Structure 1
């Protein structure tokens, strides 16, 4: 069994590859001035970059779990998400409200993709 870990530090790996499946660490993008829509855009750009680094792309998305600090931001996040996936194969998706590690994190994405 081969497991490849990329971008590892003392706590985690940015990318884990196993059996032609790619797992990304939780993607956040936070700054006090960024609203949910901007954080979502930046998270999605990070997902694209990490999938490319792992030898894949957004056409191979299998599953995305979206964590929102507050479900009142669901429509704002969905507007960005819908535009992003418009011309892509649609992954399985879940969206839940969650307490975040830092107060300025409004959205976090957890991604699984095929290689």
Structure 2
């Protein structure tokens, strides 16, 4: 196995993704717009997750673990509706969902995933 680390979307404070030994680690993905409801924000974040996984040589069927942070745990039902429609049937990953104080008051959700790369 290689000890090489590939970083994607590198900024001064963090990278949007890092790949090590065939495992993709995404940073917390948050909505690009804060003016939509939990359904819209969840769709926005899941699209970002999809894009970052593709950039890293993976996809949503290869998610190993998901951590979901909600500003209000009462949003879990609506968030789950969007999540359930997005997840590839038969590949639902282990997941934790908790209520958390997010960095921007307009954000209702943040999602962190770890995924396996596709075989080369």
1:61-89 Cα deviation digits (max 9, x unpaired): 10000000011111110111111115351
Q: Which has the higher strand share?
A: 1
1:6 paired residue number? 8
Structure 1's consecutive aligned runs of 4 or more residues displaced over 2 angstroms after TM superposition are: 30-33
2:17 paired residue number? 15
TM-score (norm 1): 0.95
Aligned with 1:71 (options 67, 70, 73) = 73
Shift in alpha-carbon separation, 1:87–1:47, aligned structure 2, 3 A:
same
1:110 is paired with a residue of what secondary structure?
A: strand
1:67 is paired with a residue of what secondary structure?
A: strand
1:1-115 alignment runs, 5 A limit: 1-87=3-89, 89-115=91-117
Which structure 2 segments of 5+ residues have no match? none
- Whether the 8 Å contact between 2:68 and 2:95 is mirrored in structure 1 is yes
Which structure 1 segments of 5+ residues have no match? none
TM-score (norm 2): 0.91
Structure 1 vs Structure 2 CA RMSD: 1.2
